Chains A and B, each alone.
Chain A
């Protein structure tokens, strides 16, 4: 992507997408003047094809699809360094959250499906058990990502140290948690929430 010419046209410019990002994040993307401070402090920018400042620049140019097609948003660690240091108060961490939500909502798997898979399993655990069940999280991730042997040596060690519980009990108020998930789904269906 780095050395390719970028073509801007009515077809590639999606201002509706940018407005959605601004509404979801509560942050303006137009305030950014490309000082690059966010990318300079970003611990993950070396893993990204578009470092944080370029993500904002692409948003300013209405190039949402370009961002969603890449893996930058899935390599953001949510460490908040960018938001903390931005001289123009662009909440980049919130913008990254909004972009991930839009990718999550879009059809088809994201390019960075490992992070998305981990997120999905984490949230499933909350809905099923109320709290995290780390053994299931790790095992399900390995099964579903096809990396059956990942961290294989770590499991028994952690179990012997008492750090991984073999069994997990559900929260007593699991019905209330299910209620929260259901009501959010309903609100979205009715268009009352983003």
Chain B
């Protein structure tokens, strides 16, 4: 935004997780937007976008739920800001599919008993911060640079894939999170697993899958020397944060039993694996912290892997 232009203002679709297990994402998003003086107004009576389960078994239902949400969003002014990567992906997918497929659009319009509103731009928080508010202005607004904080920026699946839908960044080599971190004064690390899947909603049906995939992500971040991971999806956060202790128990140091002593060291290449806790931050928590927002209003009390020791260590608290 250039000076003299109208103040930025958005309608806001938080999604189910942000009102429950990802509440700190919602709290910190609101706190950050307030600090940046950007308007944010929640869409009244929004409902679940259907996430992965709906399109998994019933695409028409998934498209209809999102189309109805998009028409509810029409009642609030401003482009639609979405924080959850899954909601963002579903809403954008719906717009993309219905614009290109007349038959599907007609079926959805019957299902929602009204016209499908497809023209409101849907934007992820990352793109609002980095592109619309602007990296330069963001850098100028930083009150407490995140100096010395090594962050592994984690994109996961749905922020950039498939390429023609989210239009957020390059689908194989994105850089929006790294750019944002540099603007906040933090140091993004180079690591191998920034776009690997965390196991997503298998957390309910097949937690073993989540433990395996998320362990690989945490390991990769540790090897790259990261102090913490930054995410933009409540499901990724849940898998990496809530299950971190379980992951350590499942894939952690060799135990001290006889078998552990004999086979453990061999399995782990002769040395005990790195067992550091890795706090998982939402992008809005780190950004708000850099903007000087008090840590009490960023929902750190809801996080399982306590980030406070790290933040104190880096003199950010």
**A-to-B contact residues, CB < 8 Å:** 24, 26, 43-44, 47, 75, 77-81, 83-84, 91, 93, 97-98, 100-101, 104, 114-119, 122-123, 125-126, 130-132, 134, 137-138, 141, 150-151, 154, 157-158, 161-165, 171-173, 176-177, 179-181, 183-184, 187, 192-194
Report the separation of the CA atoms of residues A125 and B17 in the bound assembly, to the nearest whole angstrom: 13
The one of B45, B50, B301 that contacts A171, using a Cβ cutoff of 8 Å? B45
Known contacts: A126-B50, A141-B205. The answer to whether A83 contacts B60 by CB under 8 A is no
Across the interface, do B59 and A97 meet the contact criterion of CB distance under 8 Å?
Answer: yes
The chain A residue sitting closest to B114, CB to CB, is A176
B130 CB-CB contact with A under 8 Å? no
Q: List the 4 closest A-B pairs by CB distance, nearest first.
A: A79-B157, A132-B16, A122-B53, A80-B161
Q: Is the CB of A131 within 8 A of B16?
A: yes
B107 contacts A187, C-beta separation under 8 Å = yes
Among B20, B157, B207, B303, chain A packs the most CB atoms within 10 A around the CB of: B20
Find out whether the CB atom of B48 lies under 8 angstroms from the CB atom of A126.
yes
| B302 and A80 contact, CB distance less than 8 A | no
Q: With A137-B204, A158-B242, A176-B68 in contact, is A101–B57 under 8 Å at CB?
A: yes
User: Residue B302 contacts which of A24, A84, A162 (CB distance < 8 angstroms)?
Assistant: A162
| In the complex, B39 has a CB within 8 A of chain A | no
**In the assembled complex, which residues on chain B have CB atoms less than 8 Å from the CB atom of A192?**
107, 110
* Cβ-defined contact, A43 with B196, below 8 A: yes
Q: What distance in Å separates the Cβ of A169 from its nearest Cβ neighbour in chain B? A: 11
The answer on a CB contact under 8 Å between B206 and A114 is yes
Alpha-carbon gap, A101 to B171, bound state (A): 27
A44 to B171 Cα, complex, angstroms: 19
Distance in angstroms from B117 CB to nearest chain A CB is 15
Interface centre among B19, B162, B213, by most A CB within 10 Å?
Answer: B162
Contact A79 B110 (CB under 8 A): no
A-B contact pairs, 11 of them (CB 8 A): A44-B209, A84-B161, A101-B59, A118-B204, A122-B201, A158-B242, A163-B20, A173-B47, A179-B113, A183-B113, A187-B107
Inter-chain contact B23/A79, CB cutoff 8 Å: no
Interface residue ranges of B182-212 to A (CB < 8 Å): 196-197, 199-202, 204-207, 209
